[in-house]
Chain A
């Protein structure tokens, strides 16, 4: 007797499960979350807070906001940020001043923990929302964030 009830129950539960999958078969597009990724590059927009890579924004006069305080370098847990700095003569005041020479960022070592961006007192580095970071050689993952010829915006240290 239990033999037949087992068969009956088995078929019943299988049909119950298949009613779920069959329902999706009929209305396949409803509630779909799939993105046609490489084809939707133009329209795909990441969220504002998405951590793609660290960048240093420059204004139209090729000036950045980095004073070379090295807070990001200290905050970074895995040494992704290296700052090369020296004391240069400020052309306006004539005094020697600490200025960054290169703000080097190793994207390959970065764990996107956001501690550097939080530590920055002048908001000189921010997150960019780009999401395609793969390159053919890992030397391209070492980036210099400050543009050539750029200098710190006057008055940012005050």
Chain B
């Protein structure tokens, strides 16, 4: 009798909790509908659409030059890489080849973008796990890259530096020196990142073995970028389908097989080293050449479908353009990495604690405008 009473009192029920749309650990307006039993997560149901701006539909009314600036607003932390993807797709349709100079500059600026994105992520993962100091250190180093962008492209976040056929204008005379200065600076600071956070016992306990994604699941869910590579899935587009100047540089693909949050962390730290090595190889010998291949003022792609994939900071970005031969595309589709990576979240956080969900999300590095578009 007494035992039954105790059992009745201890009986727990599942209940729902809204995490977001405004949540400090969600980095944007992502609403997660959590089904939880005590602190154990039973189900994670992401609810999207809070920052949907119908960018793909807007592309259908815009000319091909105008599409480029909209992609800045998708994954705003790798805006230059998004621009490059659209430009490469349009150039593929026009069947024009850009000069070596454009290819090399695009590669350098893309890698700088990747560095800036990973720096911000490093600051934020520390902040999500309770270490506020990382945020300030990361933003200090990111400021150098932002200054480089501001001087050469004219903006700090939404650069719109690429145009179909080349670049909007040549690099600033100070560009090379500033990039070299930054590399010298950051090569001394990146080991500090390791000392501060990677080896830290609290950080290790929060991330090791948390949110384990197997290689099979990563492939079947279409997880790309650091999420896929942390699970041992070699999916770096820069290696598999080289574009721009990636075929002429030596770099290692960051691969770890553990599949947990710490592995994804290590992939990004290693990618920062590799990005710096790529810039090191290119910065000293930027070839001379035209900065833009002349195109017609009104670009009309031939009838057909054009697809270009690039490696953005968060994974593979695909740009699909369906043209009917007019000055506007008939349909534009962006395959964003964030959307596919988000679909994994429910699978790997089932049975974990809420705090582990925060750690897993931080290691996924979501940019919500990229998921919603």
Contact = CB atoms under 8 A, between A and B. Distances in A.
B289 interface: no
Nearest to A16: B195
B150 to A, nearest CB: 5
- The majority secondary structure among interface residues of chain B is helix
Interface string B142-163: 0110000011111100101001
A17 B158 contact: no
Interface stretch (A47-55, A85-93, A101-109, A145-153): A47-55
Given A13-B200, A16-B199, A114-B160, A49 B154 contact: yes
A77 B195 contact: no
B63 to A, nearest CB: 8
Interface in A18-64: 19-21, 31, 33, 46-51
A46 B133 CA distance: 29
Interface in B188-219: 192, 195-197, 199-201, 204
Nearest to A111: B69
Given A14-B200, A115-B65, A20 B152 contact: no
A9 interface: yes
B192 A20 contact: yes
Contacts of B143: 33
B199 A112 contact: no
B154 A51 contact: yes
A33 to B, nearest CB: 5
A48 to B, nearest CB: 8
A77 B201 contact: no
Contact of A49 (B65, B68, B152): B152
B66 interface: yes
B154 A114 contact: yes
Q: How large is the interface on B (under 10, 10 to 19, 20 to 34, 35 or more residues)?
A: 20 to 34
A17 B69 contact: no
A112 B62 contact: no
Interface residues of A, number: 26
A77 B168 contact: no
A20 B126 CA distance: 15
Contacts of A13: 199-201, 204
A85 B149 CA distance: 37
Contacts of A51: 154-155
A26 to B, nearest CB: 15
B199 A49 contact: no
Contacts of B163: 118
Contacts of A135: none
Interface in B113-152: 133, 140, 143-144, 150-152
Contacts of A16: 195, 199-200
Interface in A82-137: 111-115, 118, 127
B160 A113 contact: yes
A85 B150 CA distance: 35
A49 B172 contact: yes
A36 B114 CA distance: 28
Contacts of A113: 66, 68-69, 158, 160
Contacts of A127: 154
Contact of B66 (A17, A47, A48, A115): A115
Contacts of A47: 150-151, 154, 172
B70 interface: yes
Given A75-B65, A77-B70, A21 B196 contact: yes
Nearest to A76: B66
Interface of A: 9-10, 13-14, 16-17, 19-21, 31, 33, 46-51, 75, 77, 111-115, 118, 127
16 contacts: A14-B200, A16-B200, A17-B196, A17-B197, A17-B200, A21-B196, A33-B143, A49-B150, A49-B154, A49-B172, A50-B150, A112-B160, A113-B69, A113-B158, A118-B163, A127-B154
Given A33-B140, A47-B151, 16 more contacts: A13-B200, A13-B201, A17-B197, A20-B195, A46-B150, A47-B150, A47-B154, A50-B150, A50-B154, A77-B70, A112-B155, A113-B68, A113-B69, A113-B158, A115-B66, A118-B163
